[in-house]
Structure 1
Amino acid sequence: MLTQRFDADLIADLQSHGVRLQGAETGLASRKGGAGPTDHKAMVLGGMSVMVPVHTAPAAQSPFLLETPDEFGNAILRRGGEVAGLVRLPKQPRFYGLTTQDGVPYSKIAVLHGQDVLATTVLQSCVRYVSAEKSCQFCAIGASLAAGRTIERKTPAQLAEVAKAAVALDGVKHMVMTTGTPPGKDRGAAILAESAAAVKAAVDLPIQVQCEPPDEDVWFERLKAAGADALGMHLEAVTPEVRARIMPGKAQVPLSRYMSAFEAAVPVFGRGQVSTYILAGLGDTREAILDMSETLAAMGVYPFVVPFVPVSGTALANHPAPTAEFMRALLEPLAGIIRKGGLAAEDIKAGCGKCGACSALSAYERRL
């Protein structure tokens, strides 16, 4: 009898190495290019959703191999030839087969992440992406648009229609709305507010919105009033030197503005309902990430630390992923920092930290 229990260390190993696929695509298709987790495939390990790289250079050399799944989506995972356990591949969601009233396939409006998270990039373009001198080197927001897999601007009506169907047909439990950064001082907060309001009017679904810190803190109140339950403002890197090198445009919004924005947003959304995404492996040291995470957790901000994944077609396509040893040495003490701050992934109402599929962090939290 194969075990379906996977410990945190093994998840960290999988996400650093990636996995080779023995058979053709089965179940929920892997994603190539675009915003959010890409070049990954969703897998369910011991009841936990995990996004595992499958289309990256490290994955092609991975010691992990996923055998061809059976008709139910169950597949044997091997490591170096030895059986590591049983994996289930989530099925393609039913809402993907529908089309909006104005003729756009639902899958071009929002996609399923993990098992039960609806995710959308409301604006699939960014003022920083058009310039090599400004763009984030890890970003592939334009790739899925260029490939015709999405549309640039999702309207509030389209998002509401798709969200309602995803809840009814596929049991979606929360939603992530992110955006490329448009021109203007609100940095995307305005389109997120109108989008969240439309979805909440159509279906009772917890929503996390994600954008760069707007220039005015009043936007946090507006986003909350519009129906956003949680907020993500993503640092990606935690030291000025790495930020300037990896994301020269986004680094123009200084760390000091992020910190003041966090301070203003936590009282609006509540402790643990404001989070930030940190990519480990871009050059920040383990100590720098842990120091920043300790500061954030004390403020009530959940530091969602994930391993950097080199995405094909980006400037960092050949940048190495962090080693599994680095991630284990980082995530285990980070879980303790989060617990000390009174935070927990399971307490987040919606968003990346609650889903947890892109990192082994929540699995380390469960060890405590």
Structure 2
Amino acid sequence: MHKFHFILSKQPDPALEESAIIQRLKEFYTALQDKRQIEDGLPDEGRAAHSDVWHHHRNEIPKALQIRIRRWAQKIHRHHLKDVEPTRLSREDRVMLEGCRNGAELVELRSAHHIDEIAAALHAEFPWLAEATTHVWRSLHQNRASGRLGARFAPVLLDGAPGIGKSAWGRRLAQLLETPDMIMDATGENASFGLIGSQRGWAKAGPGRLISLMLMRQIANPLALIDEIEKSGTPVSNTDKAFSLPNALLPLLEDLTASRWSCPYFQHQFDMSCVNWVFTCNSLRGLPEPFLSRVRVISVPSPTQDQINELVLREATKRLLAPSITAAITTALAEAFDAGHQINIRNVKRMLDLGSEQQARPMLH
């Protein structure tokens, strides 16, 4: 994998930590002591016996000098922190950033054929999401042809009825790309804070889930899956300041602004242009136009009866279900379709789970 330097701001140098400076000054003092004794003509075996030259043992440092060394180290460290931003990070925060000092890894695609294999696997499992699969397939090929490193594609918004596999498609895409994923339900997060993070000074200030994942896994191109983005709401603070999740995402969805994104918590600039975005919604109503203009909106139809039957057969084979149970499920689904009922993936999964439970029951004698 290639290394990608996504932390743009200057970071504190571990070599200029107070403890590291103190250690180097002590080593310098000891080396200087040895040099002076050698210049005085004292042999190695005679230096310890002539400690009166220094009025202390060779490996000891006078108390007064230790205090001066500590003060020098503190002063040097403070001056160094003034040159980097921010100056008030905790030690734990610096440790998080330190892991990506030399860059984070970019998950790569092995070849153009690898992209075709990913698209083929997605289409076989989610044929009703063919348009979304085609979008990712073309975008991955375009990115590779342009010479840009890493597996990345243009942001996509899947709009469709609930329970038709939009989120499952996104999770499966992350598995096929072999990149870490961050799955967030927009209805359960506090506006943008859960994803983006909150500024220092807030009672519950902390980094966002996305940047935390990137720093923890040291991967620069994870896949971020945001479910039901239209239901995120717009909380308002006591000062009438709105915190809308779609609006907070705007600078992250364009390469120009994403490449120099400022984290509200770390107060560092990060290059987030490699992040892959998948959004889902049940309706476009309420989503701001600036957000919609930055993503590829794809209308996802409900799966057909044939596609549902193929899904049942595939899952039944994985679960080793008996043919009689599989036939019972497909028959029940056919009757539901004939009656005009709308069948979604959740209904199918529930029926397969019931079939697995039925098959696992002990035989009664």
TM-score category by the smaller chain?
A: under 0.3
Q: Which has the higher helix share?
A: 2
Which structure has the bigger radius of gyration? Answer: 2
Which structure has the higher relative contact order (CA within 8 Å, separation 6+)? 2
Q: Which has the higher strand share?
A: 1
Output the TM-score relative to the length of structure 2: 0.21
Output the TM-score relative to the length of structure 1: 0.21
